[in-house]
Amino acid sequence: MITLYGWGPQFDCPSPSPYVMKTEIQLQMLGVAFDRAVADLDAVPKHKAPYVMDGDLLVQDSNFIRAHFEKKLGRSLAAGLSDEDSVTSWALERMAEDHLATVMAMERWLKDDNFFKGPAAFFSDVPEPARAGVMKEVREGIAAGQYARGMGRHTEAERMQLAAWDLQAIAIQLAGQRYLFGDEPTVADASVSAVLISCATEFFDTPLTGLVRDHTNLVGYMDRMKAKYFTKNRWPVPEMA
């Protein structure tokens, strides 16, 4: 039995995590039959989701989940791509996940209104007397981490400019195609579409929403990916404290 651990629909997205969305798409692309279960981050060494149980084997991180099943099944989600396109595909994944998604996360976690509307719900199982302190500590840790890596040293306007350049690059690559590299989705479509969906949600008050939706080809692309991979909500509902 194979089980994907993460979270289902939240914040008007198929998952609050683009990385969970990415893995759900890639497992479907590979034709893997799997169940879905709510993640328990304290139960796994890396304390992050997605993670997968393949029988008794724990596989953590979306990239290693993909690699595990590609090796197990003897097939690649990059099959059919030229060497040049494979390089571009990996670069698009890294730009979306490691750069654009960082801007998105800062909008959700470090803006008070957005945080208390959204991510604050993740702390519902923390006893009420300690909850405010725990949330403050986590948010301060995120802010410090982003300052250390450099993104937190930029103004919001500067972060939005960086995001706009990322989005322009994705829109140019997509152009008039259905997917990033042609008529069928390949490996990077999972990562890139998941991050775009996360950035474009209108649940949060952020300029990112408009920056994504200003590209009409990106809007159509997100709609195609959601229709192809997220037409049914099959995630269990987590118990709330």
Average pLDDT over residues 144-164: 97
Q: Which CATH architecture has domain 2-73?
A: 3-Layer(aba) Sandwich (3.40)
Where are the domain boundaries for CATH 1.20.1050.10 in the chain? 83-229
**pLDDT per residue as tens digits for the range 44-72:** 999 999 999 999 999 999 999 999 999 99
For the cut 70, the answer to whether the pLDDT of residue 31 exceeds it is yes
- 34 backbone dihedrals φ, ψ, rounded to 5°: -150, 155
pLDDT tops 90 at residue 95: yes
Peptide bond into 50 cis (omega under 30): yes
CA–CA dist 73, 31 (Å, integer): 9
pTM for this one? 0.95
User: Topology of 83-229 in CATH?
Assistant: Glutathione S-transferase Yfyf (Class Pi); Chain A, domain 2 (1.20.1050)
3 state DSSP class of 183: coil
Find where tokens 């994705």 sit. 170
Name the band, by pLDDT with cuts 50, 70 and 90, for residue 239: low
Residues of the chain with CATH 3.40.30.10: 2-73
DSSP secondary structure, 43-91, as one string: GSTT--S-EEEETTEEEESHHHHHHHHHHHHT--TTTT--HHHHHHHHH
241: exposed, middle or buried (C-beta count within 10 Å: 0-12, 13-18, 19+)?
exposed
- What band does 232 get if pLDDT is binned at 50, 70 and 90? confident
Structure tokens at 161: 């400019």
